[in-house]
Amino acid sequence: MEVRELHGRPSSPAEAEAIQDRLRPMLELGVPGPVEPRTVAGLDVAYAGDGGGAGTRLAAAVVVLDGTSLEVVEESAAVGTAAFPYVPGLFAFRELPTLLDALRALKTVPDLLVCDGFGVAHPRRFGLACHLGVLTGLPTIGVGKTAFIGAYEEPGPRRGDASPLLDGGEVVGRVLRTRDGVKPVFVSVGHRTDLDTACRNVLDLTPEYRLPETTRRADRLSREALAG
């Protein structure tokens, strides 16, 4: 699939933040997202060792699932090195080059990308899901295991219960319970979708487990690629 080249690799945190600020106006937020996507891709990255520092070996995986059956349609993995030091809020720059290699190898163009991370639930409202959305032009959401920013009230105990994730009085995401009595996930939009649709998609992708099937299978593939 095609991915746009909109910037090079930043050499400093200041340059990386400037790239985020330059690309952020390209986001399409609040537009209706894919209600019944035919194909959904999950993206995840596995790191060697503790994952710290630039140059750490990593593997990026993309797994495309049928949106109805959740069966695997296509898989792609790439091995590389972390392209940027670990800096909170700039994590995308560590993973992007290898993730983009995996995406470019796909023959399928997914209707929706699901990132293990965040979209606008980010200090500069431009997390990994936003970045990938702008570069691919595809509807993209982030599903985090824990909150990166923001405050929230614990949602109800039942699957589908939710509460807003707030930062500075702004709704930046939603805390969503995907399994009865299990810790919630943190959903935020990245590009070309709305929060209601994003949460419906996440519930469709979690028929048995807390995390979306897209994330679970991409996580497994990334670890296998790193081990290989």
pLDDT of residue 52: 63
pLDDT band at 58 (very low <50, low <70, confident <90, very high): very high
Q: Write down the domain spans for the chain.
A: 13-26+33-227
Q: Does domain 13-26+33-227 have CATH number 3.30.2170.10?
A: yes
pLDDT of residue 56: 86
Q: Is 70 exceeded by the pLDDT of residue 209?
A: yes
Amino acid at 136: T
pLDDT of residue 163: 98
pLDDT of residue 53: 62
Cα separation of 55 and 40, whole Å? Answer: 30
26 burial level (CB within 10 Å; 0-12, 13-18, 19+): middle
User: What pLDDT digit, counting tens, does each position of 120-140 carry?
Assistant: 999 999 999 999 999 999 999
Q: Are 73 and 2 spatial neighbours (Cβ–Cβ below 8 Å)?
A: no
pLDDT of residue 28: 97
**The tokens 């699939």 sit on which residue?**
1
DSSP string for residues in 19-43: HHHHHGGG--BSS---SS-SEEEEE
Cα separation of 115 and 71, whole Å? Answer: 18
pLDDT of residue 50: 62
32 burial level (CB within 10 Å; 0-12, 13-18, 19+): exposed
- Mean pLDDT across 98-106: 97
Handedness of CA 96, 223, 214, 175 (dihedral sign): negative
- Mean pLDDT across 9-29: 96
Do the annotations mark residue 44 as ligand-binding? yes
Q: What are phi and psi of 95, to 5 degrees?
A: -105, -25
Q: Return the percentage of the chain with pLDDT > 90, whole number.
A: 92
pLDDT band at 49 (very low <50, low <70, confident <90, very high): confident
Mean pLDDT rounded to a whole number for the chain: 95
